[in-house]
């Protein structure tokens, strides 16, 4: 790969994640308003591109957001790739800046609680079950059998991430739970209970990426995107090579770490796509944070030592999962961690962080490495 121009984070904005029944245009606008409130030194005229990340069916949302915010960008369109839309948009923005077509790109991700991205009609391999709970149940059964993992072991993911979310003012959940609470919560399938699942919700997250010059000029506390890895292996669940690991995540992590010229031991803090509790240990193994079958032990150890290293934001399980906003909110959390600006969620001495965002049973993944 050729030496690319540096791209970093100029600023960000968030809304609380909720069950609000708002129009998608308003949801998008709310986090952009928060962004400009937080970054009054950013001139709207300097925004070259606006990318909207969503699964909402409304069209032309990027020009609509442009008009509502008083921005007249060159580039304006919507990007969709189910749950992975947010980091797809971030990588696209990176490429506009790195290529020289743009100096600053605003990315705004938003979703309503009733997003059409929560089902995938096309994938016949799910039989009559279009909802992600179908593949999550099979992943869970398969992972438990392969590594002799119990429901209680997996419940710790939810307990830990709800605990983290309690320290996140924008999280959907503000409750904490015990392992017993999780395993006794409403049973949805043989292997999944309500508290094993991330919740659909309404929310928005916006971020501005900039060229090296713009970031140095506008941020007191620069954070850079140093590694990018993306892979799509298929769209159909049963095309996955394994039902207890994530091939697209493995390849994405490998490529992102190589591009950043670092290795997994140097990662101080990470956001992991815990759409369901089993996804967190599976992803930790596929990324390389632990050996195969030892992801749940790592989660337990972090929980017992009150270490916020993995999913400090509260993960998708604690924060809620507004599909188009998730990857952007994850990237904002890592930015806040590297800027020592994460409040009670702050991880000590965080200088390199990682974001893992995926879609549809990990048939596609993005991994980003961020550094200060």
Residues forming the site for a second copy (CB under 8 A): 1-5, 25, 50, 55, 57-60, 62-64, 66-67, 72-82, 84-85, 88, 91-92, 94-96, 98-101, 116-117, 120-122, 228-236, 239, 255, 359-360, 363-364
Q: Which is nearer to a second copy, 52 or 269 (CB)?
A: 52
Cα–Cα distance measured from residue 7 to residue 171, given in angstroms and rounded to the nearest whole number: 28
Smallest separation, CB 367 to a second copy (Å) = 11
Q: Residue 116 CB, nearest distance to a second copy (Å)?
A: 7
Taking Cα atoms as reference points, which of 59, 58, 120 lies closest to residue 84? 120
The C-alpha atoms of residue 103 and residue 87 are separated, in whole angstroms, by: 19
Residue 271 is given by DSSP the state E
C-beta closer to a second copy: residue 100 or 186: 100
Q: Least distance in Å: CB of 291 to a second copy?
A: 26
What's the min distance (Å) between Cβ of 123 and a second copy? 8
For the CB of residue 86, give the shortest distance to a second copy in the complex, in Å.
Answer: 11
Asked if 284 and 295 count as a contact pair (C-beta separation under 8 A), the reply is yes
Report yes or no: 117 and 354 within 8 Å, Cβ to Cβ: no
Nearer to a second copy, 47 or 310 (CB): 47
Closest CA to 206 of 1, 337, 10, 6: 10
Q: Which residue's entry shows tokens 């150890």?
A: 301
Nearer to a second copy, 75 or 188 (CB): 75
Q: Which helix (H) or strand (E) element contains residue 352? A: strand 352-359
CA pseudo-torsion sign 261, 264, 270, 272: positive
Cβ distance to a second copy smaller for residue 245 or 277 = 245
């Amino acid at each position: 790969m050729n030496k690319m121009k540096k791209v970093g984070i100029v600023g960000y904005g968030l809304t609380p994640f909720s069950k609000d029944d708002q129009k998608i245009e308003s949801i998008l606008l709310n986090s952009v308003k928060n962004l400009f409130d937080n970054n009054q030194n950013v001139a709207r005229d300097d925004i070259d591109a606006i990318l909207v990340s969503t699964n909402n069916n409304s069209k032309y949302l990027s020009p609509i957001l442009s008009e509502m915010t008083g921005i007249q960008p060159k580039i304006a369109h919507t990007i969709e790739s189910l749950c992975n839309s947010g980091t797809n948009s971030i990588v696209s923005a990176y490429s506009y800046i790195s290529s020289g077509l743009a100096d600053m790109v605003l990315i705004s991700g938003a979703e309503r609680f009733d997003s059409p991205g929560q089902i995938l009609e096309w994938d016949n391999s799910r039989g009559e079950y279009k909802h992600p709970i179908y593949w999550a149940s099979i992943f869970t059964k398969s992972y438990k059998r392969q590594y002799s993992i119990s429901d209680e072991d997996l419940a710790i993911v939810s307990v830990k991430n709800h605990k983290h979310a309690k320290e996140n003012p924008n999280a959907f959940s503000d409750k904490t739970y015990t392992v017993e609470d999780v395993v006794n919560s409403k049973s949805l399938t043989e292997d999944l209970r309500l508290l094993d699942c991330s919740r659909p919700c309404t929310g928005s997250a916006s971020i501005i990426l900039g060229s090296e010059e713009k970031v140095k000029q506008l941020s007191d506390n620069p954070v850079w995107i140093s590694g990018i890895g993306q892979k799509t292996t298929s769209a159909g669940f049963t095309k996955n090579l394994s039902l207890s690991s994530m091939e697209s995540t493995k390849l994405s992590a490998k490529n992102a770490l190589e591009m950043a010229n670092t290795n997994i031991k140097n990662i101080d803090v990470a956001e992991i796509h815990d759409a369901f509790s089993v996804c967190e240990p599976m992803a930790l193994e596929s990324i390389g944070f632990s050996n195969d079958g030892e992801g749940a032990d790592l989660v337990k150890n972090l929980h017992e030592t009150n270490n916020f290293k993995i999913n400090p934001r509260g993960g998708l399980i604690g924060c809620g999962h507004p599909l188009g906003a998730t990857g952007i909110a994850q990237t904002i959390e890592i930015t806040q961690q590297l800027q020592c600006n994460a409040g009670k969620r702050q991880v000590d001495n965080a200088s390199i962080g990682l974001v893992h965002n995926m879609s549809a049973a990990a048939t596609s993944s993005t991994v980003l490495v961020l550094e200060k």
